[in-house]
Every structure is written in C-alpha cells, then in structure tokens.
Chain A
Amino acid sequence: MAKYIVKRMAIGMVTLLIVSTVTFFLMFLVPGGPFLAEKAPSAATLKALEEKYGLDKPVPVQYKNYMLRLLKGDLGTSLKQRGREVNDIIFTRLPVSARVGGWAILVAVVLGVTLGSVAALNRGKAIDNVIVFLSTCGIAVPGFVVCTVLMYFLGAKLNILPTFGLTSYKHYIMPVIALSFYPMSYISRLMRSCMLDVLGQDYMRTAKAKGVSQWAALFKHALRNAILPVVTYLGPLLAYTLTGSFIVEKIFTIPGLGDSFISSITGRDYPLIMGTTIFLAFLVITMNVVVDIVYKLVDPRIKLG
C-alpha cells in the first residue's frame, strides 16, 4: 500500500513539475514579455523592471528562480490589476467558485446516484427509459447550451430567477443546475450499469435467501458495491466543475475564479493566466492522487501495485 501511495504521489509531483515547466517556457512565446502594457514603458523603465524581476538573467537562472518562487507558493503579480498579487486574486475569487462548484458536485453526485439506481432497479420499465434517454442527451449537450437555455426560459421568459450576480440563494439555482447537468448525467449512466452488474451478483441472491429485507440488501450490499466507480469519477468531476465554471461564471457573471481566469485570457494578463493555471493544475492533480488512494483504501478487492 505504502509503495502504491508513494508511486502515485511521485507521478503527481512529476506532472506538476511538467505543467509548471511548460507554463514557464510558454511565457517566452508571448510577444513583448510580461511587462507588455497599453502604454509601452520607456527603455530605461523596462530595463529597471527587468532587473528588478531578474528577467535580464540567462534562462536557466530565471527558471531556477521561478521554480524556487513557486515552491514558496508565490505566483507573481498581476499586470492589469496593478500591484495585486496573483495569490491575493485567487484567494478572494476561489471561495465564490468553491461555493457554486461544491453545490454542483453535491447535486450531481446525489441526483446521479439516485437516478442511476432507480433506473437499474426498474430495468426496462418506462422510468428506466426516461432516465437513460435524459442522461444520454445530458452528456451530448455542451455546458454553454444548458446555460443559455436555462437563462432564456427561467430568466428571460418566465422571469422567476435572476440571471447575473450571486447575492441570494436564488442566484445559485441556475448556475448549479447548469454546472451539475453533465456530471449528473454521466454519474447516472455509470451508476446504472454498475448497479445492474451488482444486482446480478451471487451475494445479492444470498442476501435475499438469508432473509435480509429488500431495503437493507439494497443499501448494505448493492449500493455500497456499485458506488465504487463513482468514487473514481470524483477526480475528473472536480476538473470538469473547474472548466465548467469558466463558462458558467462567464454567462451568469459570477465573480469567481473561472470568470477571473477568462477575463485574464481576454485581457492578456499573462502572470494571472500562468498563476491560475498552475494553481488549478495543483488542485486537480492533488485531487486525482487523493481519489486514487482513497479508492484503493475503500475497495479491498483491488490489487495493490
């Protein structure tokens, strides 16, 4: 087990190293360097700035300094929002995204597991067909389509929900639905096929034969076994929620991390782009490692190695 954890963490570290190295070298592809601004600074100012940030040094030295700064958790300073540290921006924006994303993940997992189980228990009946049809459509519809359809019907036509900002509980409803739609469909498909698999197992018949009540068999035996693959999906789910938040926060103008990332791209705020990328990559990679380890811990049948 320890060997597996070490191996998994090592791969995670290497991935992070690669992502940050790639980000560093991509910086050099950007024309004008990091001090590109609307008003071009004079040659002397530029030289002073380069000296201050160590950009006059050879590339390997710069790379070393950059990596050392990263290790300390310093992601640099924003270009457009003068004097604000990237760290500062990330940590004021993150809680907003985390609240919306957290609700979305909760809704996706709870509804996805329920719908998938209901479909599997009623295999072949009308309700199963409806759930399968909806979840097949759900994984085919891009996030921005869900957002705009919701916005048009609930926001513009019926005018029952606010379409921008995030000040009351009502503001959460549409973004959370939009963000959880795809993962919910995915989880319910996954859950349905796993549940069907588990329901056909011998131990389910044994449980029934020894007189376990239907509900106890369902919760103690079927659900616990069928839910394992959903655990592995939690890593990709976090990654999806983050990327989905780019679109959802842009459309519903929510002041979260996704919104700041997208505006940093359109505003060419390179340090903010790089910093956010590395931060989000760190989040996703850590989550993947944790999920993998948890999965091995939860399911004793899985071979370690």
Chain B
Amino acid sequence: MSQKQPFAIKVGPDKEIPLSFHLNPEDFEPASDSEKEELVTMRESVSFWSDGIRRFRKNKLAMASLVVVIFMMFFSFVLPRFYPYHYAQQIRGSEGLAPFEYSETELAAKEAGEKVFPHVLGTDTLGRDIMARIMMGSSVSILVGLVASAIILIIGSTFGAIAGYFGGWVDIIMMRIVDIIYTVPDFLIIILLSVTLKHPLMALAEKPGFGWINRVGVGLISIFIVFSLLYWVGMARIVRGQVLALKEQEYIAAARALGASHSRIIRKHLLTNCIGTLIVTTTLQIPSSIFTESFLSFLGLGVSAPMPSLGSLAATALDGIYTYPYRLFAPAVTISIIILAFNLLGDGLRDAFDPKLKS
C-alpha cells in the first residue's frame, strides 16, 4: 500500500492520490502469484442464449404467457386427437343441444350402460359439437399465425438483408419498393385479393398436381398469398437496419478477405447475428396475423366451410346472440386469449433478447 504523502487527497478509506508528480515506485513492482489469482474471473462466460433465457425466466408475465401459449397449442393440436367428436361430424338427433345436454338417443345409450362423452359446449344447429369446432378453429388460427409469420420471416429477412448488404442503388430501389408497399392500405388489398383469388385458385385445384389446394382450402391459401405479398415490409426494414450496422464489423471484413461468397456472408454471418431481432419480430408477427385472419373469417372471406375458424364461428354465432350467447363468447374469449398470450410472449422475448428494440 502507498505510504503517506504530505499533500494528498483522500479518495477512499485507505487510498490517497498524491498531489505531486512523484510516481510511487511500488506501483511498478511485478505482481505476486496471489495477486494474479485475484484477477482471474471465476465466473463462466455468459452466452447470448443463456443470458436471454435467464432474463426471460425472471419475467413472470412472460413466463405465464409462455405457459398459456403451450396450453393453447395443446388444446388445439393434441386434445382434438383424443376428443371423441370430429369438428365436421354431424350427429343426427343432437342438433342445438345446450352445454352438457344429451339427446334422446344418447340418453338411451347411457341407460344401456354405454359411456357417452358430454357435449361440453353443446352442439350447433347442424348437430356438430361446438367444443370440437372451437379446438379446430383455434388450431386453424394458430397455424395461420405460424405459417404466415414463417413466410414473412423468410421473405422479409432475405429482402432486407440483401438491400442492407449491397447498399448503393440496389438498396435505394429495394427500399423504394418497401416504402410503396408500406403505404398500400393492406386491409383493402387483402379483401380485394381474397375476393378475386378464390375462383382462379379453385380452377387451379382442378388440375392434376394441385389437389392439395382443396385440402388446405382456397381461403387459407389466398390469406397466405396476401401475407407474403404485403406483410413482410416491416420485417425487411428492421433487418436492413441491423445489417447496415453489422456489415461494418471486422468479422465481415475478415470473412470477405477469406473469400466467402456474398450469400455465405449474408446467411452465416449477417442473419445469424441479428437472430434476436428476427425471433422477436417473428413472434410479434404471429398475433397480428391471427388478428387479420379472424377479421377476414368474421367477414366470411377467410377459411371455407366446413373448416371452422374462430372468426367464422363467432360470425355464425352472432345471429343467436340472444339465445345462445355462450356460442359467441367461447370463440371470442379463445381468440382474445391466444392473441394476448402471443403478444405478451413477444414483449417478453423482446425484453430478454433485444432490449434495444424496445419502443
């Protein structure tokens, strides 16, 4: 420790800065082994993922929303496999049952000792189990959200990365395109396309090799087409901004010096380094896609019958709002929970993985 100096400023309990230009020779002595050991940090280095996951775990709201999302996934994809009724199955004699009500044939079967699974939410006017339809509807909604977000992720990140990486006039032209698509009123074009695409798609489904269109449903396909045409621009802007900053980094120069191709640099270096942003933006895209799908289905432009969606279930239940309000509230509550859970999950991921993005 330093010896007492005549003129010194006390800065700590046992530390003083001498008020002279005389250097303290003790400061220049080689450190002893024990001193060296003190400087070695014993903590393990924290990787990007473990840091993010640790922060995410601390966020109670985000963890709760993750649980809800997992539960909704289970509810809409696993549960229907064990549920005794199919969403399109019309049960004769069981039309318009109230929740937990049995029809006469079902009551007779029960008397005979058979086990009859109750209609938890009753049946609709065509004798279809409403619970089964809501499960199917929420799986359609979640699937639309996931697939649309995947499409947006692929198109948006590729477009944005190319624009940001090449820069110059490529960037200018590509970003002008984005600017223009950004100002297009998306809902109008979505409605217009889903009206007009229906017939050409149906005609296409007749041709050999395109039978899958009918399986997926013309309504769903036109929704996906619309999403992939219009919704990727937000993602493209965000990715471009990230790439513009990242491409000046030394490791990009190093990769280029080693002879890596443009596509390799974009794929292996630029996109992998903005993975946090990509995850967060994609997750926040899911609820907005579900929102759009339910809006379209509610107007009768989304999925085609007999496939249910939460929006179309609510629309058909609207006529019976005074007599069967639960038929309306069940899909309405389900869709609100799904959107809320995905929104909160996205917010939580953003706080954990990409604090800079917080607006």
Contact = CB atoms under 8 A, between A and B. Distances in A.
Given A30-B196, A148-B328, A19 B336 contact: no
Nearest to A276: B188
B295 A247 contact: yes
Contact of B335 (A23, A145, A277): A145
Chain A interface category by residue count = 35 or more
Contact of B299 (A19, A262, A268): A262
A30 B199 contact: yes
- Chain B, interface SS category: helix
Contact of A280 (B188, B318, B359): B188
A281 B185 contact: yes
Chain B interface category by residue count = 35 or more
A15 B179 CA distance: 9
Given A26-B196, A265-B191, A247 B183 contact: no
Contacts of B329: 148-149, 152
> A-B pairs with the 3 shortest C-beta distances?
A140-B340, A243-B187, A145-B332
A273 interface: yes
Given A19-B189, A26-B192, A142-B335, 19 more contacts: A11-B180, A19-B185, A19-B188, A22-B189, A29-B200, A30-B196, A31-B199, A137-B336, A141-B336, A142-B332, A144-B315, A156-B321, A239-B185, A239-B187, A246-B299, A247-B295, A266-B300, A273-B192, A288-B183
B188 A14 contact: no
Contacts of A15: 180, 183-184
Contact of A148 (B188, B195, B321): B321
A197 to B, nearest CB: 10
Nearest to B300: A266
A293 interface: no
11 contacts: A11-B179, A140-B339, A142-B339, A144-B332, A145-B332, A148-B314, A148-B329, A152-B329, A243-B188, A268-B195, A284-B185
A22 B199 CA distance: 17
A26 B184 contact: no
A29 B203 CA distance: 11
Interface string B312-345: 0011001001100100110010011001100110
Contacts of A31: 199
A139 interface: yes
Interface string A1-35: 00000000001101100110011001101110000
A156 B176 CA distance: 51
Contact of B183 (A11, A27, A250): A11
A14 B178 CA distance: 12
Contact of A247 (B180, B189, B195, B298): B298
A265 B301 contact: yes
A96 interface: no
Contacts of A87: none
B218 to A, nearest CB: 13
Interface in A234-293: 239, 242-243, 246-247, 250-251, 261-262, 265-266, 268, 273-274, 277, 280-281, 284-285, 288
Contacts of B295: 142-144, 243, 247
Contacts of B278: none
B197 interface: yes
Nearest to B190: A243
